[in-house]
Amino acid sequence: MNIAGANGYTLNNLGKINVILGKNGCGKSTLLKKVEQHVSANNEFGKIKYITPERGGKLTYDPGIDNTIANNEQWIFSTRRTNQLSNFREQSVAQFRNLELLFYREMETDTALRDDHSYTFDLYFNKINGLLDNIEIRRDGTLFKIYKKGSSEEIKPELISSGESELISLGIECLVFEKECDVSKLNILFLDEPDVHLHPDLQSRLCKFLCDLVEKKNAIIILATHSTAILGSLEDYDGMCIEFVSHGQKELNFKNISDEYRKILPVFGAHPLSSLFNRSPILLVEGEDDERIWQHAVRSSTKKLKLYPCSTDGEAQMTQYEQDVNQIIKSVYDDAQAFSLRDRDDGDSNIDDLGVVKRFKLECRAAENLLLSDEVLTMLDLDWDSMVQRIDVWISSNSTHPHYAVMLAFKDGGYDRKNFDLKQIRNDIMHIVGKPIAWEIAVGKTIGKLVFEGNKSGLEDNSLFKYLGEKLVSAVLRVV
């Protein structure tokens, strides 16, 4: 579904749970509040609720708040539109009384529920307690008290952690929203930074709670966050959609979690606003062979080469991955960059960058050709002349081999080790070398060793750095 003209904002392709990621100050909270005000004034929608970020206070009952709500039903909704609400949790306790009232009203109007003796208000205690590890809430008159889980030890609200307070408060607020939903209309819950104060494990638990909340309701959630832990928790939920926003963006086009996102997002760590990604940018590569090369290069450089290699399952997918990474970085980072590396194949090595993604092509035909560069051969205790001699011997005695014709074509073409298509014979070459090592490991370890040693030479015609290309070497390896 779409929400158009919402105080200047348009939200397209909304699913059940819609996640907005963006940097601090990009306008996520303003967006949620503007859209919430628009739909609240539209009779086509049912229950609309906005939960503010920076939710302060203690889980104690304040009769003054109850009286204010009773005298002015709109008071609680207007106060929720402030970014920092000092008595939010006191409001949540007052809302708990409302939750119980809504439960009993539902029982009064539904005969089937009255006849179902398993349907009691304890179900709602259980849902909230399911969010908690070490404490639980128990009935106390029309309110609740907090206890150490499984014991009779009561804990004062001011002594529980901020994360525990947050989960109890959010649990109450969300359950009240669920009970107030209008079955005949679309209901919307706006959640602004629900990850505040929550460890990633608790964020995951909250996400499961939210999925269950709207699964069977005519309701959706629009959620603004910084947390890729939330994304990771929701990525397998069919109703989850995502949009990355930049400052001033007014049109949001939500997308389902694609296979590309599933591969990319874990690279960004538990919190995308950390400096980790800036120090170790993603390197998109065509396939798993390339990914293994660069994984071994990173390991062999003893921390001097800082990259996160990520396979894109083929050159045809590279542009989509690059576009996705560019959008993510611009939405959640300042001054970060990413890299992508393609084989040159039959084209040339020139390729323009895409936004913050620096794009490279190998100067040689493909990653396999790196195997026959001077430095990799040296690592394998060979030089080019001795390698040619070994191939000649192999050709003279393997005329029935399935790859004989390809190897012969390699020879007849003048042993063009930089440009010949070696894909079919790469493993045969390693057999000729006679070393018990995969070709990707040989190439990766050589790259890592050169970076570790700070090698500043190596742009001769058949050097490894020449095959990699000066643009990549200077930007990624930073040793020339």
323 Cβ neighbours under 8 A, 6+ residues apart: 354
Nearest to 250 by CA among 1, 16, 430, 20: 20
pLDDT in tens, 406-450: 999 999 999 999 999 999 999 999 999 998 899 999 999 999 998
pTM: 0.72
57 in the same domain as 169: yes
The amino acid at 9: Y
326 in the same domain as 213: no
Q: Give the per-residue pLDDT at 103.
A: 84
Q: Which of 212, 228, 257 is the last residue of a domain?
A: 257
On whether the CB atoms of residues 192 and 51 are closer than 8 A, the answer is yes
Structural domains of the chain, count: 2
319 in the same domain as 172: no
> Which phi and psi (to 5°) does residue 426 adopt?
-60, -40
212 in the same domain as 287: no
Structural domain boundaries enclosing 109: 3-257
278 in the same domain as 214: no
227 in the same domain as 280: no
CATH of the domain at 217: 3.40.50
456 exposed, middle or buried (CB, 10 Å; 0-12, 13-18, 19+)? exposed
241 in the same domain as 98: yes
Q: Which of 209, 230, 257 is the last residue of a domain?
A: 257
Q: Give the per-residue pLDDT at 432.
A: 96
Q: Which of 257, 291, 320 is the last residue of a domain?
A: 257
448 in the same domain as 399: yes
Residue found by looking up tokens 């709109």 in the block: 74
82 in the same domain as 37: yes
Task: Name the average pLDDT for the chain.
Answer: 86
pLDDT in tens, 145-181: 899 999 999 999 888 888 888 898 899 889 999 999 9
pLDDT in tens, 337-390: 899 999 999 888 899 999 999 999 999 999 999 999 999 999 999 999 999 999
394 in the same domain as 347: yes
346 in the same domain as 205: no
Q: Which structure tokens are listed for 393?
A: 């011997």
Reported as type and span, the H/E element at residue 225 is strand 219-225
On whether the CB atoms of residues 209 and 131 are closer than 8 A, the answer is yes
pLDDT in tens, 233-291: 887 788 999 998 888 889 999 998 877 777 776 666 544 444 444 567 899 999 999 99
Instruction: Collapse the DSSP code of 424 into the 3-class scheme (helix H, G, I; strand E, B; otherwise coil) and give the result.
Output: helix
422 in the same domain as 362: yes
Instruction: Collapse the DSSP code of 287 into the 3-class scheme (helix H, G, I; strand E, B; otherwise coil) and give the result.
Output: coil
pLDDT of residue 62 exceeding 80? no
Q: Edge-to-edge strand order for the sheet containing 251-253?
A: 3-6, 9-12, 251-253
